[in-house]
Amino acid sequence: MNYILSNENAIYYACGYSNDNCIYLSLGSDSFFITDSRYTQDAKESLSSKPTQVIIDADLSYRAAKLINKCKVSRVSYDPKEWDHYTIMRIQSKTKVDWKSKVDFSHKKRMIKSDDEIKILARAAKLGARAFRDFAMMIDVEGIGKDERELNFLASSYMSDFGKLSLSFDPIVAIGANAAKPHALPTDKILKNDDLLLFDAGLKYKRYCSDRTRTVRVKDGFSFNKKQKYKSKKIQRAYDSVLKAHDKAIANAESGMKANKIDAICRDTIEKAGFGKYFIHSTGHGVGLDIHEMPYISTSSRTKIEDNMVYTIEPGIYIPGEFGIRIEDTVVMRDGRVEVL
């Protein structure tokens, strides 16, 4: 298949290198990496052992069109989600090929991970878990009295190992009622003993993402483990429901099961506990070079979950004005069963 890519992670997957201003072309037996002069040395060094030809040009789209015309191919596929309208239309207008729209075709190729990718993702998950532990220790010693904004800044520092690693996404640090917003932004809410604290964060290792969420009661010696005891009976009941849904989805999912069936395991468990209307997002999403990729574990997804697919299990309950609870782990389907990374 002849195709053109502009997404950084899609290009990295195709050739092993990318930057923030590049286009990748696969045309017949030839492949081209087009970038500007700022990246000449980096691109040539990174792709020196690859069959990909490095092309340096200030006008990437113009050069892409010229290469397509030169290679005399009849059809080129592209993912419309990757491109801004102006750029792809400019390339298409300068060529005489048949353009084939293929939504998510790079994500679909990346759904089933190689063994090497799984090892990298497992390492990312372990580094993320260690950062969670260190962040919890910091909060236990000096976190009381800090507001969400400062805690969010510190979370970024701990997750990145103080600049050594990149983050999968901006951390979510939410206290009490703010945790009822699944993607809560930090406020001036101050952390106190006995507060409910939701922490969702991830880091990147060799460009692959980790993703993890824990909800805890803040007290002396606390940690981000799954055994939590709350003073409020309502919070405890909600927490136990989320944990049960999380554990059941991991224990009962099998290779060959459709994604919406895994979602239903979580959703039915929370529904039976009386919190169904407060579970307002899907059960999970794929994780890899992108923090959100296929497969999606949702009510509408009929994707068949196969061995070597990596995704999250993250049921949640969010009661506006009161509290929010989410428990999330990244898992891999291997030999027919789920393993937590």
Share of the chain above pLDDT 90, in %: 99
Whether the per-residue pLDDT at 235 is higher than 90: the answer is yes
User: For 112-142, what is each residue's pLDDT tens digit?
Assistant: 999 999 999 999 999 999 999 999 999 999 9
Mean per-residue pLDDT, 71-96: 95
Mean per-residue pLDDT, 209-220: 97
Mean per-residue pLDDT, 194-216: 98
What per-residue confidence (pLDDT) applies to 161? 96
For the chain, domains (ranges, CATH) are 3-109 (3.40.350.10), 115-340 (3.90.230.10)
Mean per-residue pLDDT, 278-286: 98
CB-based burial label for 133 (10 Å; 0-12, 13-18, 19+): middle
Whether the per-residue pLDDT at 2 is higher than 90: the answer is yes
Instruction: Report which of 251, 258, 239 is spatially closest to residue 337, judged by C-alpha positions.
Output: 251
Share of the chain above pLDDT 70, in %: 100
Kindly report whether the peptide bond that precedes residue 80 is cis, defined as omega within 30 degrees of 0.
no
User: For 241-278, what is each residue's pLDDT tens digit?
Assistant: 999 999 999 999 999 999 999 999 999 999 999 999 99
List of residues 6+ apart from 48 with CB closer than 8 A: none
Residue 320 and residue 181: Cα distance in Å, rounded?
8
Whether the per-residue pLDDT at 227 is higher than 90: the answer is yes
DSSP per-residue codes, 196-248: EEEEEE-EEETTEE--EEEEEE--TT--SSS----SSHHHHHHHHHHHHHHHH
The residue type found at 79 is D
What per-residue confidence (pLDDT) applies to 153? 97
Query: Which helix (H) or strand (E) is 101 found in, with range?
Result: strand 98-101
What per-residue confidence (pLDDT) applies to 72? 86
Mean per-residue pLDDT, 103-115: 96
Residue 199 and residue 131: Cα distance in Å, rounded?
12
Instruction: Report which of 231, 169, 221 is spatially closest to residue 199, judged by C-alpha positions.
Output: 169
What per-residue confidence (pLDDT) applies to 60? 97
Whether the per-residue pLDDT at 41 is higher than 90: the answer is yes
Residue 203 and residue 341: Cα distance in Å, rounded?
14
What is the radius of gyration, based on Cα positions, of the chain? Answer: 23
